[in-house]
Amino acid sequence: MSLFVFFEDWIPDPMSPFSEDAPSPAGDGSLTTRRRVTASLRLTAVAAAGLLALTACGSGGSGESTAEADNAAPATRTVSTEMGDVEIPSEPQRIVSLNPTLTGDLLSLDASVASTAVGMSGGVRYDEDGFPVHWNGAAQEAGVEIFSTTADISLEALASAEPDLIVAGGVGRPMATARDMYDQLSAVAPTIFIDSSDSTWQEQLTTLGEMLGAEDKAAELLDGYETRVAEVTEGADLPEQPTNVASSGENGIQTLTNESPGMRLLTDFGFEPAEEVATPEEGNKEWAPVSEEEITDVFTGETLLVYESQTNTPVSELAEDALWSKLPAFENDSAFPIPTEVRRPDYLAAMYAADWFEQEFGAQS
């Protein structure tokens, strides 16, 4: 609020007793009564104006503080999950991820990941600190700690990580374990659960972005991925289709299902899934077991991609095997290794897959 006081110009007769310039009747050069009164009035007006200005400023500051308080972001927000609505911190500072297939996306979204579980994806390569190689750099930069290296969840270890938000689900056994323990997890901290078993990694990233208020960041990452795919597939020498994806190692022989996140990732690069023959076990939408007797019936595609890691049999050895060597892919010299890290993709694994594709099939390969 502002107050304006206007004094109308007044030019009195210099000799008038009411003039400020009129001489004192005593002739002593002292101020006339009129001059004393005028000076007093001026001082009073100045003081009043100053007081009003201070009052107005004080009122404005209080209003601004109130407005700032009203506009401040709420401390919590409610998100919808398949487990129901969950109230979570608006800006979580200590997120604990229960599945490494979720951690990569959380790091990509610049979420404050304090701790993560690792070691649950068989065959994935890890660095000396225990992080999967496709997001170890991001984890180290963010100062992420490891609270578990098994699919079993220790509630005591989880609580010691002091989470203000737990992110659980993803794919594989960690997802199933978290589903069974959801109520116990929620007793430790607010928990959001995502089942990505039959979703693309893009859908998982988008969902996490929506739940964490990072929709714009998720969209930016997706745009970057599309640009990268267009770059590596232009002029690529893609092998003859269709394609099977296999894993052979300590967990036996398996084939990737056509609806799995890993296979759907490969279709981005032009691979066409072969007809699905093997049947996944109940509760497992990702892999289907294959017996040795079924090898030639299941892996009928013109191209075979074989996941390789420390625990899986490399393509070079399978090529020497009596059964595997009879497959069309080996006869056509169209069997290739593929990094295990991309079988359960997140954003960083998808970009890792783009690098692999460029090296193996790109125009400059």
Q: Structurally, how many domains does the chain consist of?
A: 3
Per-residue pLDDT of the chain (365 residues; tens, 9 = 90+): 444 444 334 344 444 433 444 444 334 444 443 344 344 434 344 444 443 344 444 445 555 555 554 566 689 999 999 999 999 999 999 999 999 989 999 999 999 999 999 875 555 677 888 888 889 999 999 999 999 888 789 999 999 999 999 999 998 888 999 999 999 999 999 999 999 887 899 999 999 999 999 999 999 999 999 999 999 999 999 999 999 999 998 889 999 999 888 999 999 999 999 999 888 887 778 889 999 999 999 999 999 999 987 778 999 999 999 999 999 999 999 999 998 888 889 999 999 999 999 999 997 66
Q: What's the pTM value of the predicted model, to 2 decimals? A: 0.77
Q: Within this chain, do residues 60 and 85 fall inside the same structural domain, yes or no?
A: no
Structural domain containing residue 284:
236-361
Determine, yes or no, domain membership for 220: no
Distance, CA of 66 to chain centre: 33
Q: Within this chain, do residues 62 and 83 fall inside the same structural domain, yes or no?
A: no
Inter-axis angle of helices 201-211 and 215-233, nearest 10 = 160
- Which structure tokens are listed for 307? 């996941």
89 closest CA partner among 208, 204, 191: 191
Determine, yes or no, domain membership for 221: no
Q: Are 345 and 261 in contact (CB under 8 A)?
A: yes
Distance, CA of 288 to chain centre: 30
Q: Within this chain, do residues 27 and 155 fall inside the same structural domain, yes or no?
A: no
Inter-axis angle of helices 201-211 and 100-108, nearest 10 = 60
Determine, yes or no, domain membership for 228: no
Q: Within this chain, do residues 204 and 127 fall inside the same structural domain, yes or no?
A: yes
Which residue, of 72, 102, 118, is where some domain finishes? 72
Domain with 304 in it: what CATH number? 3.40.50.1980
Q: Within this chain, do residues 17 and 83 fall inside the same structural domain, yes or no?
A: no
Residue 357 burial (CB count, 10 A) = 24
Angle at 245 between CA 347 and CA 236, to 5 degrees: 65
Determine, yes or no, domain membership for 50: yes
| In the block, residue with structure tokens 């989880």 | 158
Angle at 326 between CA 321 and CA 330, to 5 degrees: 85
